[in-house]
Structure 1
Amino acid sequence: MDITALRALQAPLKEEYRSNPDAAVVTLKARGALDEQHIACKVETGRAIALAGLHPATGGSGAELCSGDMLLEALVACAGVTLKAVATALEIELKNGVVRAEGDLDFRGTLGVARDAAVGFKAIRLFFDIEADAPQEKLDTLLKLTERYCVVFQTLNVRPELSAQLSRQPD
């Protein structure tokens, strides 16, 4: 897709969102069902069922997906799509590219072994290995705008309002 096609695709959406800001607010949803046999959750991805379970560092077999890995995969997916869209808008031809993410977890926190150990990632690093002939200043803008417009990156960077609710299902 080139810049003309991208603009043509997004122009009516941008106009609608400018004139009707409420139309831009979309609630995304995810759903999973608890596995009856194992410590696992069957997550509906829209394409298949992903079985998430314990990471081997917490006693899992490694056969199921780890939620931490899935979070990094979501970051890579979002950052990759955002990078491509921004590169298109900036007219930077990306000849090749790989997006990688890695994060550090201290599983003592998850297992309740040490109160001073955080539950969750204490650091996440995102890498873009690209091949492009653009000048460095344009590539710097590409990175800056990718960070700015990547939904998952910004959600991790600026904590959203978060809530949890438990309800009892009728018998």
Structure 2
Amino acid sequence: MCTLALLGTVLSVGGALVEGQQSKQMADYQAKAYEQQSQADAQSTAFEQSQERHKQDLLQAQARAQAGASGVGIAGSPTEVLAANARQGQMDLKALQYSSQLRQNSLNTQAAISRFSGRQAATASIFKAGGNLIPGLSGLYDPTKAVTFGKGAFPPPPGGLSTGGLY
């Protein structure tokens, strides 16, 4: 009976520790996924910015060609329009970068939270294992079967009969 109780305690403690480690592993995998999403977002934004720059270059070239074809010199008002378009294009590029940085920060924060949760789960499993260990071990002790000092290890004979001693 004692070995079954001890085995149950060991399984309970081991199960709590394994559960905590599995929770930590899952949180670490989730954190890695968030970090990969962050990197993918940065790469995607870099590509979007490249496409936007190319589009703006084409629009600028088209605007200069139209101004030149109209017979108007590129001075004064057409130059101001081209400069304003270039400034707006830079603002669009910066907006893309800012939006991407916000998404990356959010994903990196989620990764950090996930790692923290994993560490908390691992720590909690240690306390849970300890919580399972103490009652399990204390349940193994049966005071009715324990040897006490000052008394014999064997119970008295039935009926209170004496064994013929000189008491």
TM-score in terms of structure 2 length = 0.24
Q: TM-score, normalised by structure 1?
A: 0.24
- Greater per-residue strand proportion: 1
Q: Comparing both chains, which one has the higher relative contact order based on Cα–Cα distances under 8 Å and sequence gaps of 6 or more?
A: 2
Larger proportion of helix? 2
